Chains A and B, each alone.
Chain A
Amino acid sequence: MLTFIARRILYSIPVLIATSFLIFAGVSLIGDPLGGLKVNPLASQQTIDHITAEKHLNDPIPVRYGYWVRDAVTHKFGTPLLSNVPIWDDLKRVIPHTLMLVVTAELISLLIGVSIGIYSAIRQYSVFDYAATTFSFLGFAMPVFWLALMAQILFTNLFLAWHVRIFYTSGLSSPDPGTGIHWVLDRAQHLAIPVMVLCVLNLAVYSRFMRASLLEVVNTDYVRTARAKGLTEKRVTMKHAVRNALIPVVTLAALNFGALIGGAIVTEQIFQLDGMGNYFIQNLLNTDIYPIMAWLMVVAVAVIFFNLIADILYGVLDPRVRYD
């Protein structure tokens, strides 16, 4: 087991290096490293020369890659094109905001999604099952941004009709969020709608996956054996089947990290949350490739890390898997 983990970690290193080069080379090749400057037709030649020298733009890509890696490690990913604030300082600020959003959404949708999945599987072809199926198909077909827009308008109109502030439709917190419980409440009122929107999507995924997984397990030999031993149906389902059916779902949840960040891009943009997605779009609009590369790198590291976790979890949870 330990050897497996060690080997798996070792394997991640070349993947990380390859990914970083792919990101750097890819983005540098398709984007204009000076793009953000050229948007302003009056940008002075002095500034352009200065940045060309600073970013070593006259060197070939592999050499620039070297400088970039050095900057990433020793200088907080360097600076964006036009500002002297290190990129990592901004990332450090937005990452926790995004985590707060996606982790909340993930936990809620796992909890509800798994429950729906179990109930659907137990009562296969029941009215509930059909309703859940319909809901998840709708979830798959729904553009998140559309749902978000509708929710935003709905809650604004509710406020105008009732004059009671239930949820905020934009921003991460009020100008004076207070402290302690007040702060938590304020933050919850701001995050509620974006979390709901993200949940709709994840619910569809997890409930269906759980249902499929449970139905699969119920028909396997060891569950039949458990039944044969005379255990009650309920006990069989809860104790043996559900536990085993959860394994792939948990693994999927860990693998899902990249997708979650993707979902955050649109949601944060619409609800103006100061998170990674918003940061990403702002810099893309400014055509500033340096923050974009740093962003992609951070996300790649996270995804690789979660893949690692998924593999290990899978091994720990599923006794049938053997490592050698």
Chain B
Amino acid sequence: MTDHSLEQDRTLAAAPVAGGAAAVGATGAEELVYESGLEVEVRSQWTYARRRFMRHRLAVGSLIILIIILGAGLLAPWVAPYSFEGYDVNSLEAAPSLHHPFGTDLLGRDYLSRVLYGIRTSERVAFIVMVLATMVGTAVGMVAGYYSRWADNLLMRFTDLILTLPALAVLLVAAGLIGKGNQYRVAIILSLLLWTALARIVRGQFLSLREKEYVDAAKAAGAGDLRIMFRHMLPNSMGPIVVFATLTLGVAILLEAYLSFLGFGVQPPTPALGKLIADGQDVSSHDWWLVTFPGLTIVLIVLCINFVGDGLRDALDPTQRVRA
């Protein structure tokens, strides 16, 4: 399925339960915070993290490539050599050349430009998904973890229910019946499905943080629930949240590609990467570049995102010794 991608989430979510090594918690930082005040030390936690990340050469390299690709997509209207719809009758189905590095399609449209616009569409969808899913997941996890009891029960049972069904199937049903090929609708549908894994992680964090002495201290000092959650507990859960957000970006790009491929994703004229592959498969035995380039682009983007996510996990989660 999309499986792979979701698989990762699964792994993230299931790991603590299954006794695996993974994830959860910047415990090192907590100690510091407890010993000597909040502001300064939180900053230093991030400084350490940045240093650790920079040492992870693969992740840094991936980040650079990612910035270049996503940046090119973002700036597609300015960097693309041609417009995505303008076509050239004189070079129909041209193989890749200096003129058209990715070749041209059946109507003689420059494929590099179309792929760049495709990145733009896919990344726009993916960023919306990342922001929405992270916000919802964090909020739900916080509430469930902090208040526990009935709120916890209710929210966790609800996420259980959502996890009961194969994500791709639920997505397809939603996108097929109400997605209408609109990129924002598709993005919202994706977000509504992807927050559950994060909710579980954040809940786990909050459950353990709730028992910490500094939280008791803050309570005793008369701090309100919101203040405790946002000032004291959330900063200490940022590690897994950042890692999740990063990986979600990749998951969203893949899932959108699946939807587009099956005909339920973002629809023309806006090219999206999955749609480009679906269109290209028509003539794939002949014009190999039409399927190859958008496919490779997806693989490269997701690969880089996963490497960056991996680097972030190492950097933000010093307890995790096992390095990929």
B21 touches A157 (CB 8 A): no
Residues of A within 8 A of B268 (CB): none
Given A15-B164, A149-B291, residue A143 in contact with residue B258 (CB < 8 A)? yes
Residues of A within 8 A of B163 (CB): 258
Residues of A within 8 A of B164 (CB): 15, 19, 258, 300, 303-304, 307
Given A141-B302, A145-B277, A299-B166, residue A248 in contact with residue B19 (CB < 8 A)? yes
A149 touches B277 (CB 8 A): yes
A265 touches B168 (CB 8 A): yes
**Chain B 10-50 interface 0/1 with A at a Cβ cutoff of 8 Å (1 = within):** 11001100111110000000000000000000000000000
A143 touches B1 (CB 8 A): no
Tell me how far the C-beta of A44 lies from the nearest C-beta in chain B, rounded to whole angstroms. Answer: 24
**B2 lies within 8 A of chain A by Cβ:** yes
The contact of B7 among A251, A256, A287, A303, by CB within 8 Å, is A256
**A195 lies within 8 A of chain B by Cβ:** no
Which of A141, A157, A219, A284: most chain B Cβ within 10 A?
A141
Residues of B within 8 A of A32 (CB): 177
**B60 lies within 8 A of chain A by Cβ:** no
**A90 lies within 8 A of chain B by Cβ:** no
The chain B residue with its CB closest to the CB of A205 is: B7
The contact of A141 among B261, B277, B299, B321, by CB within 8 Å, is B299
Residues of A within 8 A of B22 (CB): 212
Residues of A within 8 A of B174 (CB): 30
**A27 lies within 8 A of chain B by Cβ:** yes
Tell me how far the C-beta of A262 lies from the nearest C-beta in chain B, rounded to whole angstroms. Answer: 3
Q: Which of B166-186 contact A (CB under 8 A)?
A: 166-170, 172-174, 176-178
B3 touches A139 (CB 8 A): no
Given A258-B165, A265-B168, A284-B172, residue A156 in contact with residue B285 (CB < 8 A)? yes
**Chain A 133-171 interface 0/1 with B at a Cβ cutoff of 8 Å (1 = within):** 100011111111110011001001100000000000000
Q: How many of B's residues come within 8 Å of A, CB to CB?
A: 60
A18 touches B285 (CB 8 A): no
**Chain A 192-236 interface 0/1 with B at a Cβ cutoff of 8 Å (1 = within):** 000000000110110011001101100100000000000000000
Tell me how far the C-beta of A185 lies from the nearest C-beta in chain B, rounded to whole angstroms. Answer: 27
Residues of A within 8 A of B131 (CB): none
Tell me how far the C-beta of A216 lies from the nearest C-beta in chain B, rounded to whole angstroms. Answer: 4
**A312 lies within 8 A of chain B by Cβ:** no
**B139 lies within 8 A of chain A by Cβ:** no
In whole angstroms, what is the CA distance A149 to B21 when docked? 36
In whole angstroms, what is the CA distance A150 to B3 when docked? 19
In whole angstroms, what is the CA distance A205 to B21 when docked? 15
**A108 lies within 8 A of chain B by Cβ:** no
Q: How many of A's residues come within 8 Å of B, CB to CB?
A: 68
**Chain B 253-275 interface 0/1 with A at a Cβ cutoff of 8 Å (1 = within):** 01001100111100000000010
In whole angstroms, what is the CA distance A296 to B173 when docked? 10
A256 touches B10 (CB 8 A): yes
Given A15-B164, A149-B291, A208-B324, residue A247 in contact with residue B19 (CB < 8 A)? yes
B277 touches A146 (CB 8 A): yes
Tell me how far the C-beta of A226 lies from the nearest C-beta in chain B, rounded to whole angstroms. Answer: 18
A-B contact count (CB 8 A): 198
Residues of A within 8 A of B322 (CB): 212, 215-216
Residues of B within 8 A of A142 (CB): 4, 299
B285 touches A157 (CB 8 A): yes
In whole angstroms, what is the CA distance A137 to B164 when docked? 26
Residues of B within 8 A of A265 (CB): 1, 166, 168-169, 172, 262
Tell me how far the C-beta of A208 lies from the nearest C-beta in chain B, rounded to whole angstroms. Answer: 7
**A259 lies within 8 A of chain B by Cβ:** yes
**A260 lies within 8 A of chain B by Cβ:** yes
Residues of A within 8 A of B303 (CB): 137-138, 140-141
The chain B residue with its CB closest to the CB of A204 is: B4
**A101 lies within 8 A of chain B by Cβ:** no
The contact of B258 among A145, A201, A251, by CB within 8 Å, is A145
Residues of B within 8 A of A144 (CB): 1-4, 258
B177 touches A259 (CB 8 A): no
In whole angstroms, what is the CA distance A302 to B177 when docked? 24
- What are the 6 closest A-B residue pairs judged by CB atoms, nearest first? A262-B1, A141-B302, A262-B168, A248-B18, A259-B3, A262-B166
A-B contact pairs, 7 of them (CB 8 A): A140-B306, A142-B4, A146-B295, A248-B18, A252-B18, A259-B1, A284-B172
Measured CB to CB, the residues of B under 8 A from A are 1-8, 10-11, 14-15, 18-22, 157, 160-161, 163-170, 172-174, 176-178, 250, 254, 257-258, 261-264, 274, 277, 281, 284-285, 291, 295, 298-303, 306-307, 321-322, 324
Q: Beyond A248-B14, A296-B173: 17 further Cβ-contacts under 8 Å? A: A27-B177, A31-B173, A140-B7, A140-B306, A142-B4, A142-B299, A143-B274, A145-B258, A145-B261, A156-B285, A208-B324, A212-B20, A213-B20, A252-B11, A263-B1, A265-B1, A280-B172
